Structure 1
Amino acid sequence: MNILFAASEAVPFAKTGGLGDVVGALPKALAAQGMTVSVIMPHYGEIKDDAIRSFRRVASFTVKLGWRNQACNLLEGHVDGIRYYLIVNDYYYKRGTLYGYDDEAERYAFFCFAVLEGLRYIDERPAIIHCHDWQTGIIPFLLKTRYRDIPLYRGIRSLFTIHNLRYQGVFSQETLCDLLGVGRDMFTLDKLEFYGGGSCMKAGILYADKLTTVSRTYAEEIQTPVHGEKLDGVLRLRSPDLTGIVNGIDTDLFDPMRDPAIAFPYRTSIAKKRKNKAVLQRELGLDEAEDVPVLAIVSRLVEQKGLDLLEGALEGLLAESLQLVVLGSGEARYEELFARLASEHPRRVAVRFGFDDALARRIYAGSDIYLMPSQFEPCGLSQLLALRYGTVPLVRETGGLKDTVQAYDEYTGNGTGFSFRRYHAADFLLAVRRALTLYRNAPEWQRIVDNGAQRNYSWSASARDYAAVYRELAGNG
């Protein structure tokens, strides 16, 4: 079966978050199970020439986008056994960052058309186009409308994966009418209309043949008004076609026994992990104290991540014997909060803004407790990386966090971390204090670490679930 992934980002070329990790890792896991998988994505300015030196141009063509006729080059190459196609248009993609521009609608409408036009020039027609998030939501719509009666596209099925429902690609109806070449009749409640505008996310949800999202619990949550981001009714309508499949991680790429970014390789040895803690403390200017627990956050610093809970619990947290390490960037109010904390407590709080992959790995290796008190979390990869590195996650019971972190029960000895349910600073602080109490019990803490190490966080199980969805789609075709 030939599967084409269409996504706005993918490791190793471009990444802003978990989407890039998933699109980089899942194709390899599917290929290991005998599937032919390719990835198509934009050629961004941040992609280094050295990374695609072996790529070749397979086609040059024109994409009609409303009244515009835009040139497009299609590059092809292989990385780690996976074929990648890059959509080249410097006007849209040769910019400083991946996202955040006033013409996002035009940039990704162009991408969706270019993906489908590019199928005319590739060797193997895909049986299924696997689309990811709002940037590709127009592809299922086009397959069911504009390209429906063209023989080349007839029978191609589409799968649409929701990575984060909050980001929906909502634009004015005038803009989308212009770009897609459609009339206002396409902007009704049962089509693209969304509160007076038009939604690319809704297009993917309504027109794809099957839907997935990135955890079982999130699949349930997004069908409710609380987490449905005003699309819960549409998702309930498509509920029979919606499957929750939890993400995995690349266990070869993230392996504390072979990670070149950390000083002391280890598996579950707390003694060796504490050596990495000492290295981290020295690097960040913290007091070197192996018995003081280091709490860590590696994240986008945005409201979704529950950082207001941490702010509300600060007085209680700072009364405890602990250190806090933060790596990330985001909203100014949270950056200012952490900058102030680091300034007031330089030997206890260390903050680095931006993203540094090597430092992130040293934080996973050198910290003891990983904090994810999220408002909502479709899946989350950080808690899986923390478990892989023997760092015990403390999470709120939502989305993929609920599915992947089992609260520790000292009576049975089962569990891989700590959790709390109610979105309240007092509950978060209570969970932290419980974790700190157990941290001081060395045999108990080793048991929690060992429990986490026994879990399989690779993509293999998830890839089998995706393969089952593909087979179902192909059968329906």
Structure 2
Amino acid sequence: MSFETPRMVNQQGGQIRIFMPRYGNINERRHQLHEVIRLSGINLVINDLDMPLIIKVASIPKERIQVYFIDNDEYFKRKATLTDENGALFSDNDERAIFFAKGVIETVKKLNWSPDIIHVHGWLASLLPLYLKEYFAGEPLFNDSKVVTSIYNQGYEGTLNKTMSDKIKFDNINDDVVKTLSEPTYNNLMKVAIDYSDALIIGSEDISKEITTHLDNSNKPVLGYKNKEEFGEAYSNFYMNEVLK
């Protein structure tokens, strides 16, 4: 749904931009990626280290949608996406998630674009609601932006790096969040995303009971699971009647 959703909005006349990590397995020549110098050239501080932000852009010609790739050689040059050849999570996935969240928001700021809805898909992007509402809380560009997060059952086993909470604490994030992410399981990451989103969409038929309970207790608008055939109208109505009301 991470592509079907923006395509649906685009076809209805909305202005859409897609942001994703520039994983090393993406063929830049085939997809005609090119660096946008005016958007690149800043450093993001991750755990007290300056990490260069590189922005590359490609387009989906048939849909007339721009795709912005958040890039950094240290985090995204490797060919594998989230795990090594043995299936083990990369130890820096926590930093990659922080870098992606900050990178997306800084890029939108440089574009001077005030989106009505920011729709988050996938656990690597799940810190975006937190950073938007806490780290970038004083940014007027996002005063009227609403954050929607889709919750899937595509998580990971075990935890991310146990030092994740220290890196988030470095950014002066709410102590309750730091406490939750002292055990950075998939469920805890999703709980933080739920807490900082304005509305939620269940993107998989089956999600864990723990996440379901957290959703029920959130007192936020939640759209139940919709298949590919029925999601279009349901998502449009949800955006208009629950998120932007």
The verdict on a shared fold, with TM-score over 0.5 as the criterion, is yes
Which residue among 49, 56, 64 is the counterpart of 1:68?
49
1:30 aligns to 2:9 (yes or no): yes
Q: CA deviation at 1:66?
A: 2.6
Distance change (3 Å), C-alpha of 1:239 and 1:214 = farther
Q: CA deviation at 1:87?
A: 0.8
Q: CA deviation at 1:29?
A: 2.2
Q: CA deviation at 1:133?
A: 2.6
Q: In structure 2, how many angstroms separate the alpha carbons of the residues matched to 1:201 and 1:169?
A: 14
Counterpart residue number, 2:235: 466
1:106 aligns to 2:87 (yes or no): no
1:213 aligns to 2:202 (yes or no): yes
Counterpart residue number, 2:227: 247
Amino acid at match of 1:467: S
Larger relative helix fraction: 1
Q: How many pairs does the alignment contain? A: 231
Q: In structure 2, how many angstroms separate the alpha carbons of the residues matched to 1:65 and 1:86?
A: 18
Percentage of identical aligned residues? 23
Q: Please tell me whether the aligned partners of residues 44 and 94 of structure 1 are also in contact (alpha carbons under 8 angstroms).
A: yes
Counterpart residue number, 1:233: 213
Gaps of 5+ in 1: 1-21, 249-456
* 1:153-189 deviation digits (Å, cap 9, x = unpaired): 22221001012164488446642222452469623xx
Distance change (3 Å), C-alpha of 1:104 and 1:196 = closer
Amino acid at match of 1:28: R
* 1:266-321 deviation digits (Å, cap 9, x = unpaired): xxxxxxxxxxxxxxxxxxxxxxxxxxxxxxxxxxxxxxxxxxxxxxxxxxxxxxxx
For normalisation by structure 1, the TM-score amounts to: 0.44
Amino acid at match of 1:474: L
Q: In structure 1, how many angstroms separate the alpha carbons of the residues matched to 2:178 and 2:198?
A: 16
Counterpart residue number, 1:51: 30
Distance change (3 Å), C-alpha of 1:113 and 1:99 = same
Q: CA deviation at 1:152?
A: 2.1
Counterpart residue number, 1:84: 67
Q: CA deviation at 1:90?
A: 1.5
Counterpart residue number, 1:94: 77
Q: CA deviation at 1:138?
A: 1.1
Q: Please tell me whether the aligned partners of residues 173 and 184 of structure 1 are also in contact (alpha carbons under 8 angstroms).
A: no
* 1:94-146 deviation digits (Å, cap 9, x = unpaired): 11211111111111111111111111222532111101132122111112211
Give the SS at the match of 2:141. Answer: helix
Gaps of 5+ in 2: 84-89
Give the SS at the match of 1:464. Answer: helix
* 1:346-390 deviation digits (Å, cap 9, x = unpaired): xxxxxxxxxxxxxxxxxxxxxxxxxxxxxxxxxxxxxxxxxxxxx
Q: Please tell me whether the aligned partners of residues 144 and 207 of structure 1 are also in contact (alpha carbons under 8 angstroms).
A: yes
Counterpart residue number, 2:190: 201
Q: In structure 2, how many angstroms separate the alpha carbons of the residues matched to 1:473 and 1:201?
A: 19
Give the SS at the match of 1:30. Answer: helix
Distance change (3 Å), C-alpha of 1:238 and 1:59 = same
Q: In structure 2, how many angstroms separate the alpha carbons of the residues matched to 1:93 and 1:175?
A: 18
Counterpart residue number, 1:159: 148
Q: CA deviation at 1:78?
A: 1.5
Higher relative contact order (CA 8 A, sep 6+): 2
* 1:231-281 deviation digits (Å, cap 9, x = unpaired): 343222125422114231xxxxxxxxxxxxxxxxxxxxxxxxxxxxxxxxx
Q: Please tell me whether the aligned partners of residues 129 and 159 of structure 1 are also in contact (alpha carbons under 8 angstroms).
A: yes
Amino acid at match of 2:114: R
Distance change (3 Å), C-alpha of 1:193 and 1:465 = farther
Which residue among 103, 110, 126 is the counterpart of 1:121?
110
For normalisation by structure 2, the TM-score amounts to: 0.82
